[in-house]
């Protein structure tokens, strides 16, 4: 088994990690599941529902050193994206907020797709924000 704190390989019957002293009465999955719940508490509703099972699975078996990468990502708030879309969508500001600069520029220069795209985005932008967050998270923990 692997120490959840320092990653050291240790015998299965150890009560404490010989390297760092961490108590090992809990399994690695248990330990990670707590961290995962903490993660989703601070990033509530920021990922697409349909990707949640896959993301949970990835986080449950995430290596120790990848957690900081998962936390370092600047996740976008879907609600803020919607508000931006409402007030400045025709200038593409909502897409810029999501880091989708090409889409933002096209939207800006077409005045929000002649108004049509701006209206459609009101319905799409929260989902787009969640998908962007999921992509960034998966990229961060794959690297």
Q: Which residues of the chain form contacts with Zn ion (CB under 5 A)?
A: 3, 5-6, 8, 17, 19-20, 22
Q: Min. distance of Cβ 16 from Zn ion in angstroms?
A: 9
**Quick one: 19 or 37, whose CB is closer to Zn ion?**
19
CB 45 within 8 Å of CB 78: yes
Closer CB to Zn ion, residue 3 or residue 128? 3
- Asked if residues 119 and 48 have their Cβ atoms less than 8 Å apart, the reply is no
Q: Tell me the closest approach of the beta carbon of residue 63 to Zn ion, in angstroms.
A: 14
Nearer to Zn ion, 19 or 101 (CB): 19
In whole angstroms, the minimum distance from the beta carbon of 110 to Zn ion comes to: 56
Reference 45, options 129, 122, 142; nearest CA is 129
Q: Pick the closer one to Zn ion by CB: 66 or 127.
A: 66
Query: Rounded distance, CA 125 to CA 132, Å?
Result: 10
What string of H, E and C letters represents the secondary structure of 36-84? HHHHHHHCCCCCCHHHHHHHHHHHHCCCHHHHHHHHHCCCCCHHHHHHH
User: Nearest distance from residue 45's CB to Zn ion, in Å?
Assistant: 34
């Amino acid at each position: 088994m692997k120490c959840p704190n320092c990653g050291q390989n240790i015998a299965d019957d150890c009560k404490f990690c010989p390297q760092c002293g961490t108590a090992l009465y809990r399994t690695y999955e248990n330990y990670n599941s707590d961290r995962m719940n903490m993660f989703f508490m601070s990033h509530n509703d920021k990922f697409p529902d349909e990707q949640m099972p896959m993301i949970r699975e990835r986080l449950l078996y995430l290596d120790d050193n990848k957690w900081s990468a998962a936390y370092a990502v600047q996740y976008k708030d879907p609600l803020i994206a919607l508000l931006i879309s409402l007030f400045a969508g025709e200038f593409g500001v909502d897409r810029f907020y999501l880091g989708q600069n090409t889409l933002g520029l096209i939207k800006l220069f077409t005045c929000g797709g002649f108004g049509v795209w701006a209206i459609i985005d009101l319905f799409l932008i929260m989902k787009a924000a969640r998908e962007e967050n999921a992509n960034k998270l998966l990229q961060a923990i794959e690297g």
